[in-house]
Amino acid sequence: MPFLFVMSCKDEDPAPVDAFSIMTDYMVANNMDLPDVLDGWITARPATDAELPAFVSSHYIMDLRSADDFAAGHIEGAVNTTLAKVVADAANSGGKQILLVCYTGQTAAHATVALRLSGYANAQVLKWGMSGWNASLDHWSGGTGSAAKASGNWTMDGTADVATYDYPTITSTSTDGATILAERVAAMTSKGFQGIASSEVYGNPSNYLINNFWDQASIDKYGNISVAHKINPLSLAGGEFKHYDPAATNVTYCWTGQTSSMVTAYLTVLGYNAKSLKFGVNSMIYDDLQEHKWSALTVDYPLK
C-alpha cells in the first residue's frame, strides 16, 4: 500500500528589521532631527537677583550631581536624579519647563537630549552647570587649559576632508519608530556620560574620527586639531551623519563641551561609538579664546 508523505513547510524566519531607518524616519517626521533638538537647548541663570524667584518657580529643576553634593547645596526646589533615571523622573515635572543641571552643564546636555527625544521638547541645560550658579561649586576652572598647540597636533591649515560611511546597525524586535527610539534613549542614558579628556584626543588624534563642531569663521580664527573634520551642518534629513564612522571612536568638540555633549548623546542614540571632548576648546586653547570662555563667578546665587 503506498504511503503519502506530506512535507510540512517550516515558517521562514521574518525578514530582519531595518531598525535604524524606521527610527530615524520617525525622528525626522516628528521634529526630532538634530537641528530640532539643538534649537533653544541652553539657558543662562537669571541676570539679576530680582529675577531669581520667578526663574526658580517657573522651572522643574533636575540636578544630576551625586546625592552627597546635592545634599550639600542645590538650587531651591531642585530634585536629585541620575542620567539613567532622568526620563522616568521627568514625569513628575507637572508641565513646568524642565531645567537640567549638573557640575558643568556637560552631563546635563546628555540628559536634555534624552528628554527632548522622549516628549519633553523644551527641556533645557543650565549654562555652565552649577559652576555658573555659585563659586563654591566651581568644577569649571580646573577643566581649562592651553596645551594643545604645544602638542604639535594643532593646525591653522583648515580641516581634513570627510569620507562617507554606512549608517550604524541597531537591533530591535519592534517595527514601531517610537518604541525603537525609546529603547535607544534608554541604552544611551544607561551608559552614562560619554566624555573624553582633551589631552587624550589632541595627544593621539589618529586614534579617533574627530569633528570640530564650529562654523568656518571660528576654525579660520583659532585653528583646530590637525586631523579634525568639519561636519556641520549635521542632520538626518541632510545625510551628514554618514560622515561619522560606525567602526571608529567618534569625538565631537565645541567651545565648552556642552553642545558636543548634545551631539554625542544623539550619536549614541543612533548607534555610534561617540565621545564628547570634555570642556571643549576651553580645555585646549583657553588663553587664546576671546569668546565662549569660562570666567569665574563674581556674584553667587543662593543654595539650599
pLDDT, tens only, 225-255: 999 999 999 999 999 999 999 999 999 999 9
Whether residues 73 and 192 share a domain: the answer is: no
pLDDT value for 4: 45
Whether residues 190 and 214 share a domain: the answer is: yes
* pLDDT band of 3, cuts 50, 70, 90: very low
Asked, for residue 4, whether it belongs to a domain, the answer is no
Whether residues 160 and 278 share a domain: the answer is: yes
Average per-residue pLDDT for the chain? 95
* pLDDT band of 17, cuts 50, 70, 90: confident
pLDDT value for 16: 75
Whether residues 178 and 279 share a domain: the answer is: yes
Whether residues 240 and 274 share a domain: the answer is: yes
Distance CA(89)–CA(80), nearest Å, equals: 9
Q: What is the mean pLDDT of residues 246-274?
A: 98
Asked, for residue 12, whether it belongs to a domain, the answer is no
Asked, for residue 137, whether it belongs to a domain, the answer is yes
pLDDT value for 5: 45
The percent of residues above 70 in pLDDT, for the chain, comes to 95
Whether residues 161 and 113 share a domain: the answer is: no
Asked, for residue 276, whether it belongs to a domain, the answer is yes
Asked, for residue 295, whether it belongs to a domain, the answer is no
Asked, for residue 8, whether it belongs to a domain, the answer is no
Higher pLDDT, residue 8 or 83 = 83
Asked, for residue 242, whether it belongs to a domain, the answer is yes
Domain boundary residue, one of 124, 143, 162: 143
Whether residues 126 and 175 share a domain: the answer is: no
Distance CA(9)–CA(261), nearest Å, equals: 51
**Closest listed residue to residue 279, CA positions, set 292, 266, 267:** 292
Long-range CB pairs of 168-172, under 8 A, 24+ apart, other chains included: 168/20, 168/246, 168/270, 168/271, 168/272, 169/20, 169/246, 169/271, 170/19, 170/20, 170/23, 170/270, 170/271, 171/19, 172/17, 172/19, 172/22, 172/23
Find out whether 282 and 294 touch, Cβ atoms under 8 Å: yes
Domain boundary residue, one of 93, 116, 143: 143
Residue type, 248: A
pTM of the predicted structure, to 2 decimals: 0.94
Angle between helices 106-116 and 258-270 (to 10 degrees): 40
**Residue 108 pLDDT more than 80?**
yes
Q: What is the mean pLDDT of residues 13-18?
A: 73
Distance CA(285)–CA(123), nearest Å, equals: 30
Whether residues 175 and 278 share a domain: the answer is: yes
Whether residues 284 and 158 share a domain: the answer is: yes
Whether residues 161 and 282 share a domain: the answer is: yes
- The strand order across the sheet containing 250-253 reads 195-196, 274-277, 250-253, 209-212
Asked, for residue 7, whether it belongs to a domain, the answer is no
Q: What is the mean pLDDT of residues 7-23?
A: 72
Whether residues 158 and 283 share a domain: the answer is: yes
Cis-peptide, bond into residue 233, ω within 30° of zero? yes
Q: Locate cell 568639519: which residue?
A: 230
Distance CA(229)–CA(241), nearest Å, equals: 13
Q: What is the mean pLDDT of residues 186-198?
A: 98
pLDDT value for 2: 44
The percent of residues above 90 in pLDDT, for the chain, comes to 94
Whether residues 89 and 212 share a domain: the answer is: no
Domain boundary residue, one of 113, 143, 173: 143
Provide the residue range defining the domain that includes 280.
149-288
pLDDT, tens only, 63-79: 999 999 999 999 999 99
Distance CA(170)–CA(96), nearest Å, equals: 34
Distance CA(152)–CA(287), nearest Å, equals: 17
Distance CA(77)–CA(92), nearest Å, equals: 13
Domain count along the chain: 2
CATH code of the domain containing 217:
3.40.250.10
